[in-house]
Every structure is written in structure tokens, then in C-alpha cells.
Amino acid sequence: MVRMRLSVQGIEFAYNSTPVLKDVAFAASEGEIIGVLGPNGSGKTTLLRCMNRALSPSKGTVMVEEKEIGSMSRKEIANEMAVVPQNCVITFPFTALEVVMMGRNPSMNRFQREAKRDIEIVKKAMEATSVSHLAGRSMNQLSGGERQRVIIARALAQEPKIMLLDEPTLHLDVNHQMEIMELVRELARREKLTVIMVSHDLNLAARYCDKLILLNEGSVLSAGSVPEVLTQDNVEKVFRIRSLVQFDARIDAYSLTILGTVSGNGG
Amino acid sequence: MSLEAKPIEQLHAEKLGKWTLALVVLIAALFVAILLCVCVGTVYIPPDRVLAILTGNTAGIPVYEVNIIQQVRLPRILLAGVVGACLSIAGTALQGIFKNPMASPSVIGISQGAAFGASLTIVLGFTLAEGDFAIPVSAFIFAMFTLFLVYMLGRVEGALPTTTLLLAGIAVGAFFSALVSLMQILAAQGSTGTMERVVFWMMGSLSMANWSQFWIVLAFLIPGFVVLFAFSRDLNAMIVGETHATSLGVDPKNTTKIMLFGAALVTGAAVAFTGVIAFVGLIVPHIMRMLIGPDNRILFPASLLGGAIFLILTDTVARTIMAPQELPVGIITALMGGPFFLYLLRRKREATEW
């Protein structure tokens, strides 16, 4: 039986009384990759931020297994859930190793030093994302793709059950986009990690996600499998493009073809 | 084997080894600096005699030498040490929390704000605390206020870019130093020594040092350091980014408040008795970062020790280079700090785009 890892229950959120999220609900089980799609301003990143309580929703709850995150400390949340933010620009020359080691912070006391076990975990995490050879290099010297892999290694070093990714492939070259997504899928399968990923890239999401959630103006328009969600009607309504989703046997996954834009007043 | 291919265990062990070495060297250097600087002055007293006096063995040593050491040089040098330590750990905290290598107590105007607070107490008798703590407490309150002001003025859409931070800091700093000068001149109208007092506050000086000042600054330094050091790991995460910090179980707002509070606490104490000594809080954290890396868990203790050494040495230069004429120590630190600041500005622009 597949266990429920995470459930988002009727979340509402408003920035200065402008509603951003309206009654958003979904659940994710272990090992599952869920893609959160939607145009700019549809509330994707806000949803992610509510999920790790960087923001507090005005209504609704987020449950990690049997625990409500509202009742957990930030450290407890960090031990269950790791976030890979959009980008990182570091002012001072921290090395890749130092950044990955920060993933151990939530499990340590304020004055505790890293123990042998922590170093082992960090080593494994860096091997998993193939960044061991970059350990001694300053983060600022790494390419965007390398940096993103280091941040994913840090997320793994937290030993989380859930990983939240905010546009993990933004600003990356095509080959790095593929690399990151292959890595995420492998981690989900091997480590039984639940992955929630916000993405702009419909094609990448169609290819790698097990389930999709389509947000439109802060509400869930559609949720389910790739062909259920990325229907011609849904995509046209939300993104104003005409498209076609097909199963492509060559890549053993769904692929989305953009046929054209919807001109005029649309909707 | 190339540098980056070293195994992780080795890299980590090397880092810790470097930390230990840095602490040992800095502590040793601090003792040597204190000892040497106690020897020099208008009267040279050789190290063996100084050691004898310091260990309480004054037999056969002229009384005036004992007095020079115990009542004049030692309190001054130790005050320089704690003031340098305060300014340097404040600089480390501010650079980290603003994610900005240009931040320091005097560059962003907090020192000048603290000087204004101190002057209010000295000139107008405004007090919030009893006795000897009256001056540092008002200095601390105004350091906090200035920090808040600069932060609000410099903020652009939630971020704090270098240009607006520096501009806000310079404007607020200049405004408070003008108020300090004005107050000193009005208060001492007609009497002699007015300009000396203005210069004292503008450039900073340790010439009025005494034992009680040392103990008071130390009483601020210890809790300030403990607070900053306790949150050094959180500050590391904050430097990577606020969303990163949240993801690592750190509360960004809380950490920011604690860092700013700690920085204001030690800056207030440092400025209260010695005026605005510029650039210490800028240079020392940078030198330490270049030597031992950006991890704040070592940067705070290293800046504390390095700042103490730096100000002890520069103050000794200030009081001996033109003896018997004494220079404000701020002249020496600014002569070294100005070019260094420009160097940082140039190098940063070339290395990365902000």
C-alpha cells in the first residue's frame, strides 16, 4: 500500500487582502513526483511557501503524515521537508561542501559540531548529485547547473521525506535541465522521496511528473495524471496556447506539442 | 591530485585544523601585541620589567614606571582591545545580515548615531541608566535607532542593495556627526579645548582611557559576542539566502533582529568612550574572511581577536609616531582603511556583478 506523505487541505492565502490561494487541496504519497503548473501570478510559489510554513495560510492546513505543520517547529519541519529555491547568489565564498553541510543544521544543536555520521550523510548526498569533485570549490565559481546540484545535495543531506523544488530548471541549459530532472526522478524512485515541483516548463513537467496540479488564479483548475490535466481545453484556458499531449514511446513518457497561440480575447 | 578532488573527510578535517591554528595564532599574537605595546611610549620600559610589573613583582622598579604601566598604558591598551573587538564583531554581523561586504558600523552610520546618543548624555545629561552605564546605554539606544533608520531608508522592494545601503548610511552618519559637533561646540562655547572634543568624537581617540571604561565595554562585549556567536550557523544559512535559511529551519526575521541587536549593543559600547573609530569594523572581518573563509562560526571569534590586535597596534602607532604629540587613532585606521575600502569596491565590481 502506498502511504500518504503530505496533504494540503483547503489552503487559503492573501497578500494584503488580495487573495492568492483559494481553497487549494491535494495529497502526495511517497515516491511520487507532483508538478505544480500555472501561469505567472497563479500562486505556485506562494503554495510552495505555505507548504513549509515560510508563509502561514489564513485558512486550511498542511499535514506531513499525521502531523500538522502549524504545530511543528521550524527545525522539525526542516527535518521532514527540504526546499530547493529558485536561485542562489552567495555574497561570501562558501564552498560547495560548506553549503551541503548546512543541510545538517536542522538536526544539530546550536553549538554542536558535525560528527562522523553527518560527514557520511553529506558525502552520500554529494555523490548522489555528482558534485563530490566540486566540494572544495567556491559556490560562486560554479555554473548554474552545478550550483543547483549542490543545493539539491544540501536538500538530500537534510534527509527529508519531502522535497519542494521551485523552478529547479530555470535559467539552465537544456542538457542541465534534463540532468536535474533525471536526478530528481531517480531520487524519488530510489529514496522514496516525495517531490513537489513548481515549473514553468509544461513539457518537462509532462515528461517527469507522476501527477500534475494546474493552478489558475489561485485555485486548482485540474489535478490528476498528465493526460487528465493537460487537456487541450485546460491548457488553452490557462496558458492561451493550443497544444497536444501524446504518449511518446521513444521516451516512455508524455510529451506536449505546442501547436500555436490563441489569438484575440480568448478564454 | 588537484585541489578540488580532495575527499570530503579531508577537506572537512583541514577546515577544522585551520580554525584551531587560526585561534592559537591569534591568541598568541594578541598577548605579544599587548606586551610590546605596553613597553613603548614616551618612556620606553623593557619587556622584562613590564612582565615583572604585570605579574605583580614590582620590587626594585621605579614607582613612576609601575604607575605608567598600571594606570596609563595597560587600561588604554586593554580598552583599545575590547573596542577593536566590539567594532569587528559588529562588522562581521552587519556584513553577514546585509549580505553586503561594504557594511560596517561606521560606514553605515551606526557609530555616528551611537556618538550622538553618547553626546546627548554627556552634554545635555539625558540618561536612561545609572552611573557609569549612562553613556554606553544611550549610545546603544541610538545605535539601534540609527540601524533601524538606515535599514528603512536603504530598503528597495524588500532588498537592501549596496548603493542605497551606502547612501542611506553616509547620509544618516553625516547628519548625526554634524549634530554631535554642533552640540559639542554649543556646550563648550568660548571655553578652550572645544575643537579637541569635536575631533575626539569625529576621529575617535583612546587618550581618555581608564580602567572603569575597559570593564564597562567588556561587560557589553561578552554578552554581545555570545549572542552573535550562538547564531553564527543561522547567519551562515542567511548568507545563502532567506528562503534557503527557512528551508534549513532558521527563522530569518528572528535571526536578523538578533544580529542587529548584537551589533548595536557592541557598537554602542565601543563608541561611548572612544568616539567614532572608522574602518576597523570593515577591514578586520574582511582580512579574517580572506585568511580562514566565510564561516561565521570561526569568523566571530577570529574577528574578535583580530579586531583587538588591530586597534591595539594602530592606537600604539597613534600615540607614538609623533610623540609627544598624539594623533586620534581614527586617522591611522582611516589611512589604512580608506585605500582598503576602495580596493574592495574595485575588486568586487570586477569579480562579480551585484
pLDDT tens digit string along B103-137? Answer: 889 888 999 999 999 888 888 777 777 778 888 89
Residues A48 and A10 in one domain: yes
Residues A11 and A53 in one domain: yes
Is residue B351 scored above 60 in pLDDT? Answer: no
Q: Select, from the ranges A17-31, A77-91, A173-187, B17-31, the one with the highest average predicted confidence (pLDDT).
A: B17-31
Q: How many domains does chain A have?
A: 2
- How does residue A91 score in pLDDT terms, banded at 50, 70 and 90? confident
Residues A45 and A174 in one domain: yes
CA angle A241, A245, A251 (to 5 degrees): 130
Determine, yes or no, domain membership for A239.
no
Point out the residue among A88, A106, A136 whose CB comes nearest to the CB of B4.
A136
Please tell me which residue of chain A has the smallest CA distance to B5. A133
Is residue B350 scored above 80 in pLDDT? Answer: no
Determine, yes or no, domain membership for A107.
yes
How close B152 gets to chain A, by Cα (Å)? 20
Point out the residue among A74, A97, A103 whose CB comes nearest to the CB of B8.
A97
Residue A266, pLDDT score: 44
Residue A126, pLDDT score: 94
Point out the residue among A82, A93, A133 whose CB comes nearest to the CB of B5.
A133
Mean pLDDT of all residues in B277-297: 91
Determine, yes or no, domain membership for A45.
yes
Residues A35 and A22 in one domain: yes
Is residue B147 scored above 70 in pLDDT? Answer: yes
Determine, yes or no, domain membership for A253.
no
Is residue A81 scored above 90 in pLDDT? Answer: yes
Determine, yes or no, domain membership for A149.
yes
- In the structure grid, which three cell numbers stand for residue B305, read together? 581577536
Between chains, do B243 and A74 touch, taking CB under 8 Å as contact? no
How close B79 gets to chain A, by Cα (Å)? 29
Determine, yes or no, domain membership for A261.
no
Which of the two residues, B24 and A41, has the higher pLDDT score?
A: B24
- ipTM summary value: 0.88
Please tell me which residue of chain A has the smallest CA distance to B99. A91
Is residue B225 scored above 90 in pLDDT? Answer: yes
Mean pLDDT of all residues in B302-328: 92
CA distance B238 to B236: 5
Instruction: Specify the CATH number for the domain of residue A190.
Output: 3.40.50.300
- Percent pLDDT > 70 in chain B is 93
Between chains, do B247 and A110 touch, taking CB under 8 Å as contact? no
Between chains, do B248 and A102 touch, taking CB under 8 Å as contact? yes
Is residue A223 scored above 90 in pLDDT? Answer: yes
Mean pLDDT of all residues in B189-202: 72
Is residue B58 scored above 70 in pLDDT? Answer: yes
Residues A113 and A178 in one domain: no
Which of the two residues, B101 and A119, has the higher pLDDT score?
A: A119
Between chains, do B3 and A94 touch, taking CB under 8 Å as contact? no
Domain boundary among A143, A160, A177: A160
- How does residue B204 score in pLDDT terms, banded at 50, 70 and 90? confident
Residues A165 and A119 in one domain: no
Determine, yes or no, domain membership for A251.
no
How close A230 gets to chain B, by Cα (Å)? 30
In chain A, positions 76-105, which contact chain B (CB-CB < 8 Å)? 76-79, 81-86, 88-95, 97-99, 101-103, 105
Residues A166 and A230 in one domain: yes
Residue B215, pLDDT score: 95
Residues A165 and A230 in one domain: yes
Domains of chain B by range and CATH? 81-349 (1.10.3470.10)
Lowest mean pLDDT among A129-143, B75-89, B339-353: B339-353
Residue A267, pLDDT score: 41
Residues A55 and A102 in one domain: no
Determine, yes or no, domain membership for A124.
yes
Question: Could you tell me if A99 and A139 are in contact, meaning their C-beta atoms sit under 8 angstroms apart?
Answer: yes
Find which of A52, A69, A102 to mutate to test the B interface (most B CBs within 10 Å of its CB).
Answer: A102
Q: Domain range spanning residue A47?
A: 1-65+161-234
Residue A230, pLDDT score: 92
Residue B353, pLDDT score: 35
Chain B residues contacting A via beta carbons under 8 Å: 3-6, 8-9, 11-12, 15, 95-96, 99-101, 230-231, 233, 236-237, 239-241, 243-244, 246-251, 289, 293-295, 352
pLDDT tens for each residue of B67-81: 888 899 999 999 999
Is residue B5 scored above 70 in pLDDT? Answer: no
Residue A31 contacts B where some CB pair is shorter than 8 Å = no
Residue B157, pLDDT score: 72
Cis previous bond, A227, omega within 30: no
pLDDT tens for each residue of B174-190: 999 999 888 888 877 76
Residue A203 contacts B where some CB pair is shorter than 8 Å = no
List CB contacts (< 8 A) between A73 and chain B: 249
Lowest mean pLDDT among A212-221, B43-52, B207-216, B332-341: B332-341
Please tell me which residue of chain B has the smallest CA distance to A156. B248
Domain boundary among A160, A180, A209: A160
Residues A139 and A27 in one domain: no
Residues A139 and A165 in one domain: no
Domain boundary among A122, A141, A160: A160
Residues 6+ apart with CB under 8 A from B102: B95, B162, B165, B166, B282, B341, B344, B345
Mean pLDDT of chain B: 87
Residue type, A50: C
Residues A155 and A166 in one domain: no
Point out the residue among B9, B95, B352 whose CB comes nearest to the CB of A140.
B352
Is residue A176 scored above 90 in pLDDT? Answer: no
CA distance A263 to A115: 60
